[in-house]
Amino acid sequence: MDFDKLGEWVFILGVVIAIIAGLVYQAMDPASATYITVILVVLGLVVGFLNIRDKEMTSFLIAVIAIVAVGSANLGEIPIIGSYLKWMVLNVEAFVAPAALVVGLKAVYNLASTKGK
C-alpha cells in the first residue's frame, strides 16, 4: 500500500468532513458532534504521521498557526454565514491540531537528536 496516497486521501477526507460538519453543526445533536470531533482528531493524527516530512514541518506548523489565528476571530458575528464559518474553522482546527502535535514532537525530537552530533 502506498502510504503517501493514503495520507493524501486521509487529508482530503478530514477537510471534507470538517467543512460538511461545520455546515450542519447547528442541526447535529451533541453526541454526533462529539463523534465527528473524535473522527477528525484520529484523522489528524494519521495525517501528522503519514503526510508531513522533515522539510515540510516549518511550513505546516506556520499554516496551523494561521488556521488557529483565524479561528480566534469572532467569525460567528458575520451576518448569515458567520456561524457556519465559525464551526467549519473550529472543525478544521480539531483536524489539524493533532497533526501539529505529531509534527511538533517530530521537530523537537529532530532538534534534540542532532544537537549532540
The string of pLDDT tens digits covering residues 87-108 is: 999 999 999 999 999 999 999 9
Q: How far is CA 60 from the centre of its chain?
A: 10
What is the grid cell recorded at 117?
Answer: 552530533
Categorize the per-residue pLDDT at 2 as very low, low, confident or very high, splitting at 50, 70 and 90: confident
Supply the pLDDT for residue 85: 94
d(CA 33, CA 50): 26
Neighbour tally for 36: CB within 10 Å: 20
What is the grid cell recorded at 52?
Answer: 508531513
The string of pLDDT tens digits covering residues 66-78 is: 999 998 899 989 9
